[in-house]
Chain A
């Protein structure tokens, strides 16, 4: 038992000396920051309610423009100015007096046809289109109400908006699972490297002279790799907590991710010992992990979703069962790898 901890300690010392673990944290920080940037950026572009004070000026014309004005009144940040005819409205648009042109005309079959012109290719366009969409949807809903007699089932009334940010759902369903699972992949990759490098440099031969078995060596390496994963994840969750994002069920989340790390590291060990060299091993490892993780995520109640539900405090019995299933899977994997190691011939490796 002692020698395993010695090997694990040596592994960790190696990581510290190379400062690679700092690089790893840096990468994760970058991914987190960039995905937040992306989402906040996208949200403010595609959901102007997140963009304070985005006001758009609509040049309206056509015989049904009065209804359009009424619809715009109930949408904050949108205003319709009426113009005599299409040409006048278009001129206002070309002179930058209006952000968009809406020509609303009643059609023969009792509907309303609108032709919307918005400026081409700039950031504003997106904001304008989204805002216009809201105006037109209110318009549509008003018109629907007026025609509800012709409908078999009138649309259900909508509740009031609460003004919640879509960023909230993103944080729990994407960002937290991402941050929790990145260390898992990194740990597996470290294991592959560590073992293939021993084989490649011929130092595994040297270790054989020491009074340790192959199982001890692999155990030590795996131990180090598994140990660093939950520590990183815990740091992330605490950081989020400090930043005002409460994360529930930290214990179960860490249990789930540690179990998953054991599985992934087990797979990494098996691949590293079977594959002929590092390139092949890393390739197989990447594909295997993508397959494993992709497959698990695609299943209902996969690890990603389980972490999201645990973190947002919507976990129920099935979520905890999922955690238990992964714990059992981890146990099975480690036993399986042990069995595999005891049967492997150390002389056959190079």
Chain B
């Protein structure tokens, strides 16, 4: 054991040395110089005022009388260009024209979508202008007659008790409270906690603190409509919706949106993209000109080689994350939550580098990994304070940590567990082909994938078909082996469940834009296809690599085993969710209503508990029988299995929905 560790460390040292050799001082200095130059240019530009990330600058032309008060409002909005009314011809030179009438204002809009969008932008600009003028008024009570104090309160008993990680929110100084102008007697923070004895104190206090954190965020944000480079600027009127002014007027209340924390959390993800470039190059380098052969023939496990080569990058990821955490005010929790993300980035890149045939192909793989994982980590984190489903991404933990909120251990495990498991499985998949016949050959990616899967399988049935051996002996030692083979099949199928879940989420996301009449049927078929492929692809690999005997009996056996494995894994995840985080189900139901996720074939009723087992088993047997013949048969039976599955899904959806 100690020897292995020493070997791993030695390889890690070589790897680290190689990196510093590749990235010599000149390169690093060059990179640094580039960063400095751009920092100076952009910083200088922003300081002088010529630069700004206004992607929507000057996109609408607005006709307005130059000396009307509306002209000022138009001028102040970077998206609008004002044109004198005498030259304004709606639909030709301008998209919208603003006229002052006796008692109000009238707009003429071009009869196009663009015209309508322009009119909406004008309205938002006037609104923003009004807010600014009111802020300058002498009589603030008349300018802002209504003050608002917004508080969040839970109505249901929250189910997450237990020890919490991170700082205790109650001890935190409530900086934001000072900003609340009116704090009327009967309902201040104290009484909010008291007034609902049913809810557990902790969670209510948490939620209040969340609000305060929000306020603080909004206040530190420079909110003058100039900071329009991110999501808020898309939509209505600059950063107005998210920038609270200290008065506490209706315009200043903010929906729960952890904007600044989210932005900071994104900073954690950026270095990962550079890291995997270096890592992918290093792995592929081993495969070019048989450079990795020396390590392969040495008496070292492939696992140790891979571990050694990966270690420096994990170290680098942790170091960079720690530096960023110190920089942006994150704690140990942020670093801990980032480790699984870093591992997943590295694992996916490792598999990509093992499969890729050239640097060019690797580049695409790296880009794909970056894009997929960044969205997977980032998008749920956007909904941090909105729905508990956000916890599927560990980045949500980082956002919570940056907001100074406590995270329970259950939440932490729920968030990081699946990602860590997925990373481990990907590494296993890649290590399977870390051998001579796959590393130094130019096999197409699908064949390598089959190789990688086949490595993990154990044989079922007698592969040696020519031998007319006696049935007796097969029976005697065959039972245990057969059970082992089938258990492996079921286990591998179970391992695919996290990936299936991710793939299904992505499918939902991609099909989201289509109209419902199209998207729901397409979605049902796609989800069925993803699951059927996950259940049968390794069976196909087993038959193709002669690990399974090509008989119908074996096909039925492995098909049933695979179906059972999938069923058990799916149920296990459902049980974990139901036990661990009850409110997650509520969250998902709510999320489903908004995003169309309710089409997900999650059989919720206990009465139908075993129906999926029959379905999974039967459909997979169909696909397995095809897989035992050849590719054409497999394709055909896979289609049939998908259709069966989709029909079942459709039945479930129409039953419940």
Interface residues of A (CB under 8 A from B): 14-15, 18, 20, 23-24, 26-27, 29-31, 33-34, 36-47, 51, 86, 90, 93-94, 96, 103, 105, 107, 109-126, 129-130, 132-133, 136-137, 139-140, 143-144, 146-148, 150-153, 155-166, 168-170, 172-174, 177, 186, 189-190, 192-194, 196-197, 200-202, 275-280, 282-284, 286-288, 290-291, 294-295, 297-301, 304-305, 308-309, 312-314
Contact = CB atoms under 8 A, between A and B. Distances in A.
A228 B242 CA distance: 41
Given A107-B182, A156-B73, A140 B145 contact: yes
Shortest beta-carbon contacts, A-B, top 7: A136-B250, A291-B38, A143-B145, A150-B142, A164-B116, A166-B235, A147-B142
Contacts of B326: none
10 contacts: A37-B510, A110-B141, A120-B204, A144-B134, A156-B70, A163-B116, A166-B236, A197-B358, A291-B37, A298-B45
B235 A47 contact: yes
B38 A294 contact: yes
B417 interface: no
B386 A157 contact: no
B513 A36 contact: yes
A308 B59 CA distance: 7
Contacts of B231: 39, 42
Interface centre among B231, B361, B364, B388 (most CB of A within 10 A): B364
A34 B509 contact: yes
A301 B50 CA distance: 10
Contacts of A47: 235-236
A114 B147 contact: yes
A282 B360 CA distance: 11
Contacts of B57: 300-301, 305
Contacts of B277: 279, 282-283, 286
Given A42-B382, A280-B22, A313 B150 contact: no
Given A111-B146, A294-B42, A27 B371 contact: yes
Contacts of A114: 146-149
Given A123-B590, A150-B142, A299-B51, A280 B23 contact: yes
Taking residues whose C-beta sits less than 8 angstroms from the other chain, chain B's interface range is 35 or more
B278 A279 contact: yes
B650 interface: no
Contacts of A312: 59, 114
Interface in B70-127: 70, 73, 79, 81, 95, 98, 103-107, 109, 113-114, 116-117, 119-123, 126-127
A189 B363 contact: yes
A164 B512 contact: no
A163 B115 CA distance: 11
B495 interface: no
**What does DSSP make chain B's interface, helix, strand, loop or mixed?**
helix
Contact of B30 (A34, A103, A107, A284): A284
Contact of B387 (A110, A121, A202, A298): A121
A326 to B, nearest CB: 17
Nearest to A198: B359
Given A118-B153, A174-B55, A46 B38 contact: no
Nearest to B99: A159
Contacts of A137: 250-251
A276 B51 contact: no
A176 to B, nearest CB: 10
Interface in B23-66: 23-24, 26-27, 30-31, 34-35, 37-38, 41-42, 45-46, 50-61
Given A46-B241, A150-B141, A298-B41, 15 more contacts: A20-B364, A37-B513, A45-B594, A121-B386, A122-B586, A123-B587, A137-B250, A143-B145, A147-B139, A147-B142, A155-B133, A162-B119, A173-B59, A277-B281, A299-B51
A168 B113 contact: yes
B618 interface: no
B491 interface: no
Contacts of B19: 279
A125 B150 CA distance: 12
A157 B105 contact: yes
A121 B207 contact: yes
Contact of A116 (B151, B357, B382): B151
Contacts of A161: 120, 123
Nearest to B114: A312
Interface in B552-570: none
A18 B360 contact: yes
A291 B134 CA distance: 40
Contact of A308 (B22, B55, B368): B55
Given A37-B509, A283-B274, A158 B126 contact: yes
Contacts of B281: 277-279, 282
B31 A283 contact: yes
Interface centre among A124, A280, A305 (most CB of B within 10 A): A280
Interface string B344-387: 00000000000001111111110110011001000100110111
Interface string B209-242: 0100000000000000000000100111000010
Interface centre among A153, A162, A172 (most CB of B within 10 A): A162
Contacts of A40: 512-513
Interface centre among A34, A44, A96, A163 (most CB of B within 10 A): A34
B129 interface: yes
Nearest to B593: A123
Contacts of B41: 295, 298
A235 B109 CA distance: 32
Interface stretch (B164-172, B253-261, B428-436, B574-582): B253-261
A136 B51 CA distance: 36
A193 B137 contact: no
B153 A117 contact: yes
Contacts of B54: 305
A51 to B, nearest CB: 8
Given A116-B151, A159-B119, A298 B145 contact: no
Contacts of A150: 139, 141-142
B153 A119 contact: yes
Given A129-B256, A130-B255, A151 B139 contact: yes
B138 A30 contact: no
Contact of A284 (B27, B70, B98, B133): B27
A201 B288 CA distance: 7
B143 interface: yes
A279 B23 contact: yes
Nearest to A50: B235
Contacts of A287: 31, 34-35
A131 B451 CA distance: 56
B55 A94 contact: no
A294 B34 CA distance: 12
